[in-house]
Amino acid sequence: MKYRIEMAPLTDYYVVAAKDKATGELKESFTLNESAADMLQMVCEGKDPLTIAQEIANQYDAPIEIVTKDVMEFIDKLRQKDLI
């Protein structure tokens, strides 16, 4: 990860702050639902996309094909925002 990621759970979603590792300056903030927050946590842990997809599919009892597509799209969005 290019930035230090901080997540705070709220009632139905998570608030995420991406901060510069050296200065602590806020780069970006956004909200995520629970499954997306789980994905982000796994990305931060260095897990590969297929492992993330398998874990999310198991955790949420969802079809692996759909979850794999969702994980890849989520990671692409993180890249587009220059967060990873």
pLDDT tens, 43-84?
Answer: 999 999 999 999 999 999 999 999 999 999 999 999 998 888
The total of structural domains in the chain comes to: 1
Cα 57 to the center of its chain, rounded Å: 15
Question: Is the per-residue pLDDT at 39 higher than 90?
Answer: yes
Which residues form the domain of 76?
3-80
Which pTM does this prediction carry? 0.88
- Cα–Cα distances in Å, from 14 out to 30, 37, 38, 43, 68? 8, 7, 10, 16, 22
Give, as one character, the DSSP assignment of residue 78. H
Q: How many residues does the chain have?
A: 84
Q: Which helix (H) or strand (E) holds 4?
A: strand 3-9
